Every structure is written in C-alpha cells, then in structure tokens.
Chain A
Amino acid sequence: MHSEPISKPDLAEIAARYEGLLKAAVEAIIVIDARGCIESFNAAAERIFGYEADEVIGQNISVLMPPTDASRHDRYIENFHQTRQPRIIGKGREVEGRHKSGRIFPMDLSVGEVTTPAGRKFVGIGRDITRRKAAEDALLKREAENRRIIQHAPVGIFTADPNGALHSLNPALARLLGTPAEALMGRPIAVLFDSPSREKVLVALAEVLNGQGQVQLEGLLLRRAGGMPAEVMLFLDRLTEESTESRLIGQIIDRSREFEAHAEAQKMREELAHAARLSVLGEMASAIAHEINQPLTAIATQAQAQRRLLLTEAVSSVEVAAGLDLIAEQALHIGQVVKRIRAFITKRESQLEVFDLREMLEQILPLAELDAQRRGVTFRLELAAKKARVCADAVQLQQVILNLLRNAIDATCASKTHSREVTIRTFEAQDRACLIVADRGGGVPVEHHAKLFMPFFTTKPEGVGLGLSLSHSIMEAHGGTLSYRDREGGGALFEVCLPVQPASPADAKDPP
C-alpha cells in the first residue's frame, strides 16, 4: 500500500488503482454511506450475492441481509452514530448474507469506517464461508457423535498421560468403578486394580510406551467403591499411531457377568454331580452296608468271644491282646470306609488342586471294588510307574472314573462274556495324562456312538442316562476329554485325558 510515497496526488491514477483492487479482490467489498445506501459493489460481491452492481447501488445495504437482520440494521447504524460504540467495526465477525435468490449463507465480515470529504462511509469486506462452515459443522457433528459413542459405550474408556495418570474417562468406566469421573482425574490407572493385577498393568503401561503396540490383559481384578472387585479385560494402546505419542488410551471390559454366568454353570454342574454321586452311592448302598457290616460283625463276635473265654477258661493275656488288636483294626477299617464315602458325597464347591492321577485312582478303587467283588468282576491294573500330575477337582474326577468302572462292571455282567476282567490303564501321551477303562462286555453299537454322551441317553433298563453326559461335561470343564472307542477284540473302551501339569521344583529335586 505504501510502496512509494505519493508526493503529488494523481487522482486519476488513485482511482484506477482503487478500481483494479476492487476487481481483483476475492472478497466482496461494499461501500455504503452513513445512511446505509450502497455506493460501491465489486465483482466478488456480485458473484457472492448474485446481484449486478447496478441492481444494488443506491439500495439500502439491508437487501443483502436476512430479513431479521435487515430490520435491525438501520438501528445499528443509528446506534453507532449516537454512541460511537461500534458493534462490528474494526473486528471481523461471522454474519449471514442474503443471496439474490433468497438463499441465506454464512459469511465473514469486517467493517471499516472512513471519513471522506463527501461524508462518513463504511467499507464492508466479506467472504462466503458456506463451504468452510459446512466442513466445520461436519467436523463438530462428527466430534459430537464420537463423544456420544464414547459417553454411551458400555465399555469403560479412558485416556492417560505418559505417567499413567487418568486424563479422561467415560461414564461407563466411572459407573464400573463406582466413583464420579471428576474424583478419578489425575489418579494413576494402576491403583484402580487389586494386586497382583496392578503389577501386570504397570508392566503393560511400560510395554505400550516402549512401542510394543496394543497390549491386552485378561482376568484383572478392578477395585470398585463399595463392592466386590470386578473381573475385567484391559486393552491399552497409544492414543495415536505416531511413535512420538506418549499419551495412552485404554478400554476396560467388565467380564464379571460372564464370570458369574460361568460360576453359575459351574454351580449347577456341582449340584448335578453331587446328586449323581448320591445316586451312585444309593445304588451301591448294599455293597457299602456289607463293607461296614463285616468288620462290625468281627468286632462284636470277637468281643463276645473274648469275654466268654475270660470268664470260663484261663486265656493268656497274649490271646486277649490279639483279640483286642483285631477289634481295633476292624474299627479303623470301618472308619476308613466311612471317610471315603463322606469325602465322595460331601456337598462342596469345586476345588482345583494338583495331584498324581495314580494316587487319586488308588483312593477311588476300593469303593469301586466293593461293587466289582460282589458281582464277581476283577480289576486288572496296568498303571504307569511315572507320576502324572494333573490339575482338577479330585472328587469330580473320581466320580467320572467310578462311573466308568461301574459301567464296565455292568457291561461285564450283562453279557455272557468269557472275561470277567475290567482293565484299568494309565499312561502319558503328548503332555496329556490318560486313563483307560476297558471291558470285554458287549461294547457300544455303532448307531449309539454319536448319542453316547448326550443327556438322558441310556441302554440300561433302570438307567437315567446322566452318568456319561455328566462325566463328559466334567472333563470338558477341566480342559480334558472323555472319549469312547470299540475295544480291539471286543468290548468297550473309555479314555479320560487331562493336560499334564509341569512338575514343581520340589518334585524335580527328589524324583519319586
């Protein structure tokens, strides 16, 4: 503008320059007089407002405004003249313009005041911002949508600064934590978790900041104000993909419902398993009564005999002592039987423990032998010498095995088979501890193979059809399997497999 000092004003040249400027300007440049009459209307203004300059020069500026603004504009000018307090002059402002077609559009407008010999004038410079406005609106809308998504997400979402302090969180997370969002701001996210989950989260934070990409943690315990900890899953990542980004975004998914559903199913299975154990014992009642009655008979008879001998003839104290030994031994035997039965039928929550498959088998065998002996069936044991450590609920596993053994005994008795022997074999194959129960009974007809583990499928006249299906679901719940195949040479073969647990350091030190 001040490229060279104008020493002698050449009016013609100034006018020409002014004309050129007006034409070349991208913005609409409109000059009005003190009353609001349009004096000048440049090419850009023609384009933006759709009027020819001739059409509007001399008209009041309000023709270029929406009707509501137009009615007020005269008052604005009046006000300015009186107070000299500009509302718009000197600063840009977003207003609305009216196109010749009547379309209202947003525009940026700045107004300047000039005083000329012909009086005071106002210069308005404006720009159609429809497109910019649309882009801005779209952006705002999208941002609002995103915010809504985050606000309404059922998943807990948070952002954190590089130190792991909470920067923002959505209502779902606040609800899950049972604490208002404001109270949580700035708190380290790790303290939201119970130890040892907390340590895992701290490790994950470090990993993500080191650029290891998204980290996913399962089975964390999230502390909740005034409630039980919730079992959650955590996803942690950098807020943006840039490698310099050190802010974090995290998602916390509440899994306690699934956990509860799982626990519910587990409880049902326990109930059913307990009922099945009771029914098995019910079926075995007479065998068990016999097992207890025998030692009771020995005790009673021995005591009565000793008493008679003491009164009638001279017996040596050695003989009496031997009699008392027999009594004590028999009483302890009864105790063992009762203990085994109690352990088997006691209603209890499922407890996982690591134990040797063979030891467990040796505990349940006497119970199964009660039944076998009575029915003239013998067990042939082919047990692996090596310990096979498995992690399971011992009682439920015993139940599965007892069920298989009883089925094998039934099958043996039901068929006029040449062998009254049931084979029990344990072995280890591909990190799985396996146990086989095989009989020489009639086997399972091919058409029944598919239905074998379905509930209420039975071939026994008095069977309910829950034994095998329950056993199957018990094995699956333990990450194991229960399968059937025809035994080579005739009969049925059931196989139970469980993952082998790695040996503990204690075992490694002194091998069996």
Chain B
Amino acid sequence: MSQGKAHIVDDDSAVRESLSLLLRSVGIESCAYGSAQEFLAAWSPDMSGCLILDIRMPGMSGLDLQQTLQDRQSTLPILFMTGHGDVAMAVRAMRAGALDFIEKPFRDQELIDRVHQALALDAERQAAHVARREIQRRLALLTPREREIMDRIVEGHANKVIALDLGLSERTVEIHRARVMTKTEAHSVAELVRMVTLARSG
C-alpha cells in the first residue's frame, strides 16, 4: 500500500514551506494549505494520509476544522501544532479525538516520528475500511433466507436447531449453509463470525 500524504494547514507561509521541505527530506509527500477553509475546499471523503494542523489561526481555527471534519465523518488522523500558551486548547483537541499534539517550535525527529505514526494509523484504517467494504459486498450477495440462516450460524446454533426453528428440513439448512460459506468465501465458522463482526462495526 502506498504511503498517504501529509496535509499541512498553517496560516504562516514560512512555516508551511519549511514543514513541506522537512517532510520531503524524509520522503513524505505533503500538500500545504493557508487556511482551514482552503483545506475544506480540497477535502473529500476518500482523502488519505494525515493532517498537520495549526491550532491557532485567524478565521476558522484548528479546533473548528477538527469539529467540521468530525461532522463529515472524516477519519483522517490529526496532529495539532500548538504554541506555549495553548495547553487548554491542546487538551480540548485531544478530547475531541486528535492523535497527538506537538509544541512549536519542535525537533525535526519528533515531528517526523509523529507523522509516520499518523500515516501508519491511517494506512491501517484504510486497510480495515477496504476489508469491511469487501465483506459487505459479499454479504450483499446473500438471499434473505441465506442471511437468516447465517445470522443463526453466527449466533452458534446447530443445523438441527435452525431447521426446527425455521420449520425447514435439516437438509435444506445444510444447502443454504454451504451457499453462505461459498458466497462469503469464509473457510470456517470462526472466520465467518469475524467477518460479520467487522462488517457490523463500520
């Protein structure tokens, strides 16, 4: 999987330029924005990577942007940049689900480590997301009857119990069960349980 981009949002162009250069020096691709609005204009739900966000900006602040992204159900990990006096703001940002914050000015390695962390987290999330989508696609192939039977299998019921429950022959249940396993590409009941759980989580 290719590495995501670091999206930098800071009102100070000198900071943006320097940060891009630093990330380039360790091979991280970046994209810089001068304001929260500019970033939002470029944002899309499938945007990947991480966000390096200045907490204090004129106009829309970093915290405001975080809130807006949450409303839009973005999962982009956010790394906040703060000043000395911004502890209270940093605490709010962390409570609101920020990945981390780093105080300006910072040591290059500290920032790079955190950006790597953020990108790895996003990659993981992206992978999980892809997996979930695939499972959901497979589950969508099931007929209502097959789905009914799958739910009972996942709950741990034996074929006999399911047949009795649904007023079917045990043989019919067995046939449906085989189709469920084929369509979902699950190799065992344990795997099926894991897939259903994952599908329901997202």
| Min distance, Cβ A446 to any Cβ of chain B, angstroms | 34
Cβ-based interface call for B59 (8 A): yes
Q: Once the chains bind, are A302 and B83 in contact (CB under 8 Å)? A: no
Contact of A294 among B21, B24, B104, B107 (CB under 8 A): B104
Per-position 1/0 for B22-62, Cβ under 8 A of A: 10111000000000000000000000000000001011000
Q: Whole-angstrom distance between the alpha carbons of A313 and B85 in the complex?
A: 37
A294-B14 in contact given A289-B83, A305-B22, A374-B56 (Cβ < 8 Å):
yes
**28 sample A-B contacts, Cβ–Cβ < 8 Å, listed by A number:** A286-B83, A289-B83, A290-B56, A293-B83, A294-B14, A296-B104, A297-B12, A297-B15, A297-B18, A297-B104, A297-B105, A301-B15, A301-B18, A301-B19, A301-B22, A301-B108, A301-B111, A302-B14, A302-B21, A305-B25, A308-B22, A308-B26, A308-B108, A309-B24, A313-B25, A373-B58, A376-B58, A376-B59
Question: B23: nearest residue on chain A (CB-CB)?
Answer: A305
The count of A-to-B residue pairs whose CB atoms sit within 8 angstroms is 82
Chain A residues near B104: list those with CB within 8 A: 293-294, 296-297
Chain B's closest residue to A294 (CB) is: B12
Q: Does A225 contact B (CB under 8 A)?
A: no
Q: Are B21 and A298 in contact (CB under 8 A)?
A: no
A positions within 8 Å CB-CB of B: 285-286, 289-290, 293-302, 304-306, 308-309, 312-313, 323, 326, 329-330, 373-374, 376
- Residues 81-99 of B, flagged 1 when their CB comes within 8 A of A and 0 if not, give 1011110000000000000
A295 to B15, CA, bound (A): 7
CB–CB A298/B14 < 8 A: yes
Interface residues, chain B, with chain A CB atoms under 8 Å away: 12, 14-15, 17-19, 21-22, 24-26, 56, 58-59, 81, 83-86, 104-108, 111
Q: Which residues of B contact A330 (CB under 8 A)?
A: 14
Give bound CA distance, A286 to B87, whole Å.
11
User: What are the residues of chain A within 8 A of B86 when measuring CB–CB?
Assistant: 286
Contacts of B85 in A (CB 8 A): 285-286, 289-290
Whether A302 contacts B18 by the Cβ 8 Å rule is yes
Cross-chain contact B12 with A308 (CB below 8 angstroms): no
Contacting residues, chain B, for A305 (C-beta < 8 A):
18, 21-22, 24-25, 108
A446 to B197, CA, bound (A): 67
Chain B residues with CB under 8 Å of A285's CB are 85
Check if B12 sits within 8 Å of A298, measured CB to CB.
yes
In the complex, which residues of chain B have a beta carbon less than 8 angstroms from the beta carbon of A326? 14, 17-18
Q: How far is the CB of A8 from chain B (nearest CB, A)?
A: 138
Closest Cβ of chain A to B54, distance in Å, is: 9
With A294-B104, A297-B106 as given contacts, are A374 and B58 in contact (CB-CB < 8 Å)? yes
Given the contacts A298-B12, A301-B15, A373-B58, A293 and B22 also touching, CB distance less than 8 Å: no
Chain A residues within 8 Å of B19, by CB: 301
Q: How far is it, in angstroms, between the C-alpha of A300 and the C-alpha of B56 when the chains are bound?
A: 19
List the 8 closest pairs (A to B, CB-CB), nearest first: A304-B108, A298-B14, A305-B22, A308-B25, A301-B18, A286-B85, A302-B18, A300-B105
Q: How far is the CA of A293 from the CA of B59 in the complex (A)?
A: 19
A299 to B106, CA, bound (A): 10
- CB pair B105–A296 under 8 Å, yes or no, is yes
Q: Check A293 against B18 for contact (C-beta < 8 Å).
A: no
Contact of A309 among B25, B81, B83, B111 (CB under 8 A): B25
Partner of B14, one of A295, A304, A306, A376: A295
11 further contact pairs, Cβ within 8 A, besides A286-B83, A297-B106, A299-B18? A290-B83, A290-B85, A297-B12, A298-B12, A299-B105, A300-B106, A302-B21, A305-B22, A305-B25, A313-B25, A329-B14
